[in-house]
A and B are shown apart, each in its own frame.
Chain A
Amino acid sequence: MATLAHPETPAAARVTPTYAEITRDIVATLGKPGRTWYVVFGLVLAVLGWGIFALLYQIRFGLGVAGYSPPVMWGVYITTFVFWVGIAHCGTLVSAVLYLFRSAWRTAVYRTAEVMTVFAVLTAGLFPLIHVGRIWYAYWLIPYPNQRQLWVNFKSPLLWDVFAVTTYLTVSTLFLIVGMIPDVAAARDKMTGWRKKLYELVAIGWRGTDQQWRHYLRAYLYLAALATPLVLSVHSVVSWDFAMSIVPGWHTTIFAPYFVAGAIYSGLAMVITLIVPLRKAFKVERYIHEDHIENLAKLVLLTGMIIGYAYAMEYFIAWYSGNPYERAAFYNRAFGEYWWATWTMIICNAFLPILLWFRKVRRSIPAMFVLSLFINLGMWFERFVIIVVSLSYEYEPYAHGHYTPSWVDWSILAGSFGWFFMWFLLFAKNFPMVSIAEVKEIIPMPRRERAHA
C-alpha cells in the first residue's frame, strides 16, 4: 500500500496530514479565486472568443476560408478532433483501469484526469461539427424518423464516431460525478450560499453512512468495469475513420491499437501538463508530488515505446507489403514536402521518451513538465501527418496537392484550447481537484502514538 510519505523525501516535508488537514487543504482550493485566476480566466475567454469569431466567419462565407486545398479535404479540424479524443483517454485509464488494478497512487491524480477527460471529449465533439460543410444540417447524422423517410448510413465510420463519442461523453461524465459525491458532500458541509445549493444537488443527500459507503463503492466498481472497455473501443472506432478507407497511409490494420496507445500516451502527457501548475497554484504539493509524477512517467514510457514500435511497423509494413502506393506515401511522409512535420512527430513521440529510462528525469518535475509539452506537440503532429500528408499524396499523381492552414484554422484550434481551459478553470474553482475521500483512504489510520512497542 502506497503511502503519501515517501522514504526518500526529507521527513520534514512529509508529515502525514490528518483527516482534518486534508479536508481543510483541499476545500481551501475552493476558496475565493485570486487575481491571477481572473487574469488567466480572462485570457482563456479572450482566446475562446476569437475562436468563436473565426467559426462564425467560416459559417458565413463557407469552409473556403479555412486552408483546405484538395485533395486534402480534412485538415486541422479533424487533426484537432483526434488530438482531443486522444487526450480524453487517459482519464478513464487512470481512474477506471488503475482503480481495478488497485494501484492506490492514482487517488491523487485521478480527479484531474477525469475532469480533463470530460472536457476534452466536450471539446473534441465540436470538431466534427466545425468541419462539415453545412453545419446547419449536421443533425442529419443522427438517426431519427422523418417524413422524408431518410435514414443514416450505418456503414459509414463517421456514423460510428457519432455513437462512440457520445457514449464516451456520457459514461465519463457519470463516472466523474459519482466519484465526486463524498467529496462534494464534504465540501457542502463547509460551504454557504449558492455553492452549498450546488453541492447539495451533486451530493444527492450523501451522509457517509456505512450503508451508503457500501453501495457507493459497489457502484463505483461497476462503473469502472463498464468504463474500462471504452478505453479500447472509443479510440479504435476513431482510428477506423481512417483505417476503413483506401487512402494509402490510412488503410492499415495496426491503426486501432496504435491509436489507443497514442491516445493514452498523449492523455498522460496532458495530465502532467495540467497537474504540475495545478499543485503549485492550489498548494497541494503534499498530495501530488514526485511519486505520482514518476508513476505517470512510467506509463508514459510504456506507451511511448508502443508508439515508437508502431511507427517502425508502419514503415516496415509499407515496404514489406510491396504495395507501391503505400511505399510512395510513406516515402513522401519522411522525405516529401512535409518532412518537417513527420520528423517533429517522430522525435517528440519516439525519441524524447527515451529520457524516461533515467530515474532522475522521471522524478524531476520541471523536466517532466517540459517533456509533456513536447509530447503534446508531437501527438498533434502525429495526427496532422497521418491525415494531411497521406491525403496530399494519393493514387492520382495529377491530383497531388499541398495544404497550408489559414488563420481561421489556427484561430479555431486556439479557440478549442480556450474552450477546454474555460471549463477546466471553472471546475477547478468549484470542485475539489483532489479526491478528499480517497486520499483519506490511503493514509495510515490515525492512532494514538506508540500504541505498541
Chain B
Amino acid sequence: MSETSGRSGPRGDELKPRLSESGAPGAGVGADEGQLSRRRFLKVLGAAGGGTVALAGCAGGEPERLIPYLLPPEDQIPGIATWYASTCRECPAGCGLHVKVREGRAIKLEGNPDHPVNAGKLCARGHAALQGLYNPDRVRGPMARAADGTFQAIAWDDAIARVAERLGAGQGPAVWFVTGAESGTFDRLVDEWLAALGSTGRVVNEPFGYEALRHASREVFGVEGIPSFDLGSARYIISFGADFLETWLSPLALTRGFVQSHGYRDGQMGKFVHVEPRLSLTGMNADEWVSPVPGTEGLLALAMAHVVMTERLAPQAPDVARLRPLLEQHAPGAVAARCGVPAETIERLAREFAAAPSVALPGGVGTHHEQAHGTAAAALVLNYVAGNVGRTVHVAEGAAGAGSAARGGYGRLVQLVEAMRGGQVSVLFVHGANPAYASPAALGFTAALERVPFKVSFSRFLDETAQWADLILPDHDPLEQWNDVEVSPGVRGLQQPVMQPVFDTRQTGDVLIGVAQRLGGRVAARFTAATYKDYLRDTWRGVQRDVGAAGEFEAFWTQSLQRGGVWTAPRTPPRATLAATVARLSVVPWEAPADRLTLIAYPSAVLHDGRGANRPWLQELPDPVTKITWGTWVELHPETAAEFGIAEGDVVELTSETGSITAPAYLYEGVRPGVVAVPTGQGHSAFGRYAQGRGANVYSLLPAAATAFGGAAHYVAVGMRPSGEHVRLPKTEGTPRQLGRRIARATTLAAMRGEAHEEEHAAHGAAPVPEHIEDVLHEWEDAQRREWENRGNYAGEHPRWGMVIDLSRCTGCSACVTACHSENNIPTVGPELVKRGREMSWLRIERYFEGGGEHPFETRVVPMLCQHCGNAPCEPVCPVFAAYHTPDGLNGQVYNRCVGTRYCSNNCPYKVRYFNWFDYQAPEDPRTFAFPEPLHLLLNPDVTMRSKGVMEKCTFCVQRIRGAQHQARLEDRPLRDGEILTACQQTCPADAIVFGDLRSPDSRAAQLAADPRGYHVLEELNTKPGVVYLTKVRNVAEA
C-alpha cells in the first residue's frame, strides 16, 4: 500500500496528549494509554511514520519522546484532518463516504455530499464501520488450523502456497465460493477466478436478498432486477411491510425521498400509510397504520387495485385487461374478512391512492412468508394499475449480477449445503458472508461444513463460519482496501485505502491473484494484473469508456478517487409493461395453525442481519422502536401477553418445528394480537466479545426449506410459554407515555391549515401565566442580560448558538446518536450499566406512545440533547463553575474543573447530563474499559476524554465551533452561516436538525426557529432553551 505509506503515520505531538488525557487526572493512566498507542503505532505505521510516546506519564518522571517522520508525508499537516472519499460496505446500499483522517488514523466517517445515494448522510451502521476497522476481535493475520484444532499464525506466502496446493489437483467443479453481495470488480474477479479453475460454484449469500421482490418483478414485468422507487415525487406512499427507513434496499436514499414527500412545508405534505401486522420504525412514521392479518397484505393490495380498476380512478393501460380475472376475485368485500380490514377502509385507501401521485412499496424481509412473492407482486400490480410505473416506480435490469437467482438468494445456499452433504465440495471459500449464523439452523450449514475437507475463510472476524475454517486469510477492512461497487446502473462507487492496515491482513483480491499466479499456467494467464489494484484500474479504464470521459486515464482515475466514484444521470428505462406470466399470478396468504402464534423474524434496524453485532456502538444504540439495547426481546401485544399471563421482562420460550429460543418479553401495542415479533442480529455463538453469547438467534426458529421464490421464510408458526424466569430489560426508557407533558408535540395537517382546531392543548390543568408575571420575568431577564453584557468576556456582540429540530422530518432512525458517539468519544457501558440507567449517550431519541386501546395507536419521537438553556438550572447550582454560561450562549461544561457533586444533573429538567461512574477510558479496569486496543485509535483527538467522577453532556460539538472560528480568524473573515455543522446535523438522513446562530436574523436556524410550529420542551419552566422543536404534523383527517 505504498500510496498510503507516505500520508499515514501520526506526527509527534498529536495522538499522545489526547490519549494521556484519556487517562484520569492522575498520571499513571496516561502512561499506559501511551504505551498502548506506541506499540500500536509502530505496528500500524511502520518506519515511515512515528508517534509521540508517553514512556511514562507526566508524573512518572520519565520524559516524553517526540518521533518525527523521516520523509514529509504529502498532503498531511499535523493537527489538521485529511479527508478521503470512499464507499460504505456495511450493507449493499453502497453509500458514499468521506473519511476523516488525523495523523494516519481514520477517526470519523461522514457521508459524501456529492454521492447520489446518500447525499452526505450516513446511518448508524455506517458510522459503526469505524468499529469494524478498529475492532479488537479482528483476525490479526493469516491463520491455519493446526492438528490440535487450534489456529496457528502463519506467513502470507505459506498461506497462499497452501491454497494453491489444494487447488492444484484440478478439482475445479468441487470448488465453491461464497461471497456477500458484491456488485463491482471483485464480483467479476471471483467469477473469472472460478471460471479459470473450471468451477461454477459461486454462491452469493445476502441474508436480506429481497428474493420475493426480484421474483415478483420477474413475474409481473418479466424484468430481472429490483425496481427503484421514487418517493420524492410521490404525494401518497403506501408501504406493504417495506421497512424502507431501516434496512429495505437503500434506506438513506429512501429516507431522503420520504421526507421530501412527507415533511411538512407551508401547508403541504404527502400522506404515508403503512400496512403491516407489526409497527416497525418505518410504520411509526406513518400517518395511518393498517394492521392486517399477517400475510394478507397482498390481498389488500389487490383489493385496492380492484377498486382503482373498477372505478376507473386512473387511466388504464390496455394490458391491464390481463389482470381483470385476477382482480375480479379480489373485491374489497371479498377480502375484507380475510385481511381483518373493513371494506370501506380499503376503498378509501384505494381512492386516496389513486387521487395523488402515489407509490406502493412491496414488502421487505419482515414480510417474507412462504408466499411473499405474491404480496410483492400484488403491490407492483397496484402500482401498475394506478399508473405509477414509469412515474414513481422504475423497473430496470438490476446492476450487474447483484445476486441474481442463478448464483444468489437463499435457494442457492440450500444447493450449496446439499452439495456439501453430498461430499461434492472439496474446497470452500467464504468471503464477506456468515451463513453459519445467518441461515436457519435447520439447514444444518455448520454440520454440512464438516463434510468439506478444506475450508478457507477470508473473514475479518472469527465469526460462526470462520471458526470452522482450516485456513483464515483475513481481508482488509473496507476502509483499508481498494475496491468498487456498482450500486445501480450508472452509479459506481470507489473504495480507497484511507490508512495503513491496522493488522497483518491482505486484500482478498490480491490473495486470489496471488494464488492464480502461483498455480501458473492457464489460470495465471487469465490474470494479467499484478495486483488487485491494477485489476481494478483495468476495470475503470472500461468505466471511463462507458461514461465517455475524455482525457488521460490517470486524470480520470484521480478525479474519480476524489469524488468517490462516478455517477451518470440514470437513463430512464423503457416504461415496463405487464409480462404474460402476470396472468398466472396468485396471492396466497400466510396461514398459521389455529393453536399457534405467528412469529415474524423482522430485520433489525440496528444490527441488520447480525453483522453489526460486534460493534459496541450498535449494541448500545437503543432499538428505535423498543429502546432496548444489547439483547434480544420478544414483542407481544398486551392482549396476547395477558392471555399467557406474561409481563414485560418475563422470559418466554418460543418453539417452532425446527428449534426454540428464549428471550424476555416486551409488551408493545404495535404488534397485532396473535403475532410475536423478534428482531434478527443477536444470539451469536462466536464473532467477538461484543457479539458472543448475547440474546437469541431467531434464525434457529425458521424453516430450512427455500420458499417458492427462493428465499428464506421469515414467518413461522410458534408455540409460546413463559419460562417462569424474569429479567430486567436493558432499555433506556423510563415511562413510555408523556403524562400530558407535551414533550413531543404533534398536530394535524387540517389544524395547520386552520381547517380544524388543534385537539391537543396543555393536557394538565396548569393555569396560564398571568400578564404581570410575564412582565416580571421579562424585566428580570433583561436585567440579567444587561448584567452579563457588561462583564469581561460577555461584553459586546456574541452569537447565540442554537438548534432547530423539525419533528415532522425526524424519523427516529438514530443515526445522530451514533454520529455523536463517534464525534465526542462517548464510551459504551454495556447492558448491566444500561439497566442502571448509566448509558452515556449525549443524544437520545425519546419515543413516546399515544393512544392505543380503542384509540388509534400513535408513536412520536423527539431527539433529546442538552437544550443549552439561556436560563439554565444546572449553572447556578455548580459550586465550582464547572457548569457555566459561555458568552456565545452554550452551557459550558469544564470537565477538568468538575468535582462531581452531580447537583447540575439533579437540577436539569431534561436529564441530559451524564456522569462518569467509572473510568471508561482507563485500561486498568477491564470491566468498564470502553476502548480496548486498538479501538482507542478511533478517538477524536480534538475532544477531551472524560475521567471518572466527572459530569459530561452535549456541547453542541464545541470543538467544531471553535475549529470553524479559528479557521475564520486565520482567514480574516466572519463565520458563515452553515459553516458549522454539529455531528448530529451533519449525518441526519432526514435533514431534521439545523444548527446556527439564533441571534443573527438571517441565519437558517433563526428563520426556522420563528416557524409557528416552533416550541420549547417544558417551556413553562422558563429555562429559555436554545433548542427549538417544530411540532410534528400528521396528515390525518381528524386530530
Residue B286, interface by CB 8 Å: no
Residue A443, interface by CB 8 Å: no
Which of A110-118, A267-275, A397-405 lies at the binding interface?
A397-405
B838 and A323 form a contact (CB under 8 A): no
Residue B928, interface by CB 8 Å: yes
Residues 833-868 of B contacting A (Cβ, < 8 Å) = 833, 836-838, 844, 846-848, 864
A245 and B739 form a contact (CB under 8 A): no
Minimum C-beta distance from A211 to chain B (A):
47
List the A side residues contacting B897 at CB < 8 Å. 140, 150
Closest chain A residue to B764 by CB distance?
A: A324
A151 and B881 form a contact (CB under 8 A): yes
Residues 95-120 of B contacting A (Cβ, < 8 Å) = none
A397 and B899 form a contact (CB under 8 A): no
Closest chain B residue to A399 by CB distance?
A: B911
**Cβ 8 A contact of A74, one of B736, B743, B902, B916:** B902
List the A side residues contacting B950 at CB < 8 Å. 133-134
**Cβ 8 A contact of B910, one of A73, A245, A396:** A396
Residue A158, interface by CB 8 Å: yes
Residue B758, interface by CB 8 Å: no
Closest chain A residue to B900 by CB distance?
A: A133
B743 and A397 form a contact (CB under 8 A): yes
Minimum C-beta distance from A395 to chain B (A):
4
B734 and A62 form a contact (CB under 8 A): no
Q: Would A324 and B838 be within 8 Å (CB), given that A73-B915, A156-B876 are in contact?
A: no
A247 and B881 form a contact (CB under 8 A): no
Q: Would A322 and B876 be within 8 Å (CB), given that A397-B739, A397-B743, A401-B734 are in contact?
A: no
A141 and B880 form a contact (CB under 8 A): yes
Q: Would A70 and B915 be within 8 Å (CB), given that A153-B880, A397-B739, A398-B846 are in contact?
A: yes
List the A side residues contacting B738 at CB < 8 Å. 397
Residues 720-775 of B contacting A (Cβ, < 8 Å) = 733-741, 743, 764-767
Residue A61, interface by CB 8 Å: yes
Residues 190-231 of B contacting A (Cβ, < 8 Å) = none
Question: A380 vs B812: C-alpha distance in the bound complex, in angstroms?
Answer: 43
**Cβ 8 A contact of A134, one of B844, B873, B879, B949:** B949
B764 and A64 form a contact (CB under 8 A): no
Closest chain A residue to B880 by CB distance?
A: A140
Minimum C-beta distance from A214 to chain B (A):
45
Question: A73 vs B919: C-alpha distance in the bound complex, in angstroms?
Answer: 17
A73 and B902 form a contact (CB under 8 A): yes
List the A side residues contacting B948 at CB < 8 Å. 62-64, 133-134
Interface string of A381-417 (1 = CB under 8 A from B): 0000000000100111111110000000000000000
Q: Would A156 and B879 be within 8 Å (CB), given that A68-B917, A69-B838, A246-B1021 are in contact?
A: yes
B879 and A70 form a contact (CB under 8 A): no
**Cβ 8 A contact of B918, one of A61, A128, A155:** A61
Residues 117-157 of A contacting B (Cβ, < 8 Å) = 128, 131-138, 140-141, 150-153, 155-157
A245 and B906 form a contact (CB under 8 A): yes
Question: A328 vs B737: C-alpha distance in the bound complex, in angstroms?
Answer: 13
Residue A159, interface by CB 8 Å: yes
Question: A43 vs B225: C-alpha distance in the bound complex, in angstroms?
Answer: 80
Residues 598-642 of B contacting A (Cβ, < 8 Å) = none
Residues 185-207 of A contacting B (Cβ, < 8 Å) = none
Residue A257, interface by CB 8 Å: no
Residue B977, interface by CB 8 Å: no
Residue A244, interface by CB 8 Å: yes
Question: A448 vs B905: C-alpha distance in the bound complex, in angstroms?
Answer: 72
B909 and A153 form a contact (CB under 8 A): no
Minimum C-beta distance from A412 to chain B (A):
16
Question: A430 vs B909: C-alpha distance in the bound complex, in angstroms?
Answer: 51
Residue A71, interface by CB 8 Å: yes
A397 and B848 form a contact (CB under 8 A): yes
**Cβ 8 A contact of B879, one of A159, A245, A328:** A159
Question: A156 vs B879: C-alpha distance in the bound complex, in angstroms?
Answer: 5
B909 and A157 form a contact (CB under 8 A): no
A141 and B899 form a contact (CB under 8 A): yes
**Cβ 8 A contact of B880, one of A152, A247, A400:** A152
Residue B556, interface by CB 8 Å: no
Minimum C-beta distance from B761 to chain A (A):
13
B877 and A156 form a contact (CB under 8 A): yes
Question: A245 vs B872: C-alpha distance in the bound complex, in angstroms?
Answer: 11
Residues 304-332 of A contacting B (Cβ, < 8 Å) = 322-324, 328
List the B side residues contacting A153 at CB < 8 Å. 876, 878-881
Q: Would A246 and B909 be within 8 Å (CB), given that A133-B950, A134-B899, A153-B878 are in contact?
A: yes
B903 and A137 form a contact (CB under 8 A): no
Question: A62 vs B738: C-alpha distance in the bound complex, in angstroms?
Answer: 34
Minimum C-beta distance from B869 to chain A (A):
11
B735 and A400 form a contact (CB under 8 A): yes
Question: A228 vs B423: C-alpha distance in the bound complex, in angstroms?
Answer: 95
Residue B558, interface by CB 8 Å: no
Q: Would A132 and B766 be within 8 Å (CB), given that A156-B903, A158-B903, A400-B734 are in contact?
A: no
B1021 and A63 form a contact (CB under 8 A): no
Residue B901, interface by CB 8 Å: yes
A140 and B899 form a contact (CB under 8 A): yes
Closest chain B residue to A134 by CB distance?
A: B949
Closest chain B residue to A59 by CB distance?
A: B949
**Cβ 8 A contact of A133, one of B847, B911, B916:** B916
Q: Would A63 and B906 be within 8 Å (CB), given that A150-B881, A322-B767, A398-B734 are in contact?
A: no
Minimum C-beta distance from B741 to chain A (A):
7
A396 and B909 form a contact (CB under 8 A): yes
B877 and A395 form a contact (CB under 8 A): no
Residues 870-898 of B contacting A (Cβ, < 8 Å) = 873, 876-881, 897-898
Closest chain A residue to B1022 by CB distance?
A: A246
Minimum C-beta distance from A154 to chain B (A):
9
Question: A197 vs B8: C-alpha distance in the bound complex, in angstroms?
Answer: 75
List the B side residues contacting A157 at CB < 8 Å. 877, 903
Question: A322 vs B765: C-alpha distance in the bound complex, in angstroms?
Answer: 7
Question: A247 vs B250: C-alpha distance in the bound complex, in angstroms?
Answer: 45
Question: A70 vs B835: C-alpha distance in the bound complex, in angstroms?
Answer: 10
A71 and B900 form a contact (CB under 8 A): no
Interface string of B272-311 (1 = CB under 8 A from A): 0000000000000000000000000000000000000000
Question: A323 vs B911: C-alpha distance in the bound complex, in angstroms?
Answer: 20
List the A side residues contacting B767 at CB < 8 Å. 322
Question: A394 vs B743: C-alpha distance in the bound complex, in angstroms?
Answer: 13
Residue B1018, interface by CB 8 Å: yes
Closest chain B residue to A133 by CB distance?
A: B900
B898 and A134 form a contact (CB under 8 A): yes
Minimum C-beta distance from B833 to chain A (A):
7
Since A137-B899, A153-B876, A156-B878 are in contact, a sample of 17 more A-B pairs with Cβ atoms closer than 8 Å, ordered by chain A residue number, is A62-B949, A69-B836, A69-B838, A70-B837, A71-B906, A73-B905, A131-B901, A132-B899, A133-B915, A153-B880, A155-B876, A157-B877, A159-B879, A324-B740, A324-B766, A395-B911, A397-B737
Q: Which 8 pairs show the lowest CB-CB distances between chains A and B?
A: A133-B900, A133-B949, A400-B734, A64-B917, A324-B764, A399-B911, A397-B735, A73-B902
A residues apposed to B, CB below 8 Å: 61-64, 68-71, 73-74, 128, 131-138, 140-141, 150-153, 155-159, 162, 241, 244-247, 322-324, 328, 391, 394-401
What are 14 contact pairs spanning A and B, CB under 8 A?
A: A62-B948, A63-B948, A63-B949, A64-B838, A68-B917, A74-B902, A140-B880, A153-B878, A153-B879, A162-B879, A246-B873, A394-B911, A395-B1018, A395-B1021
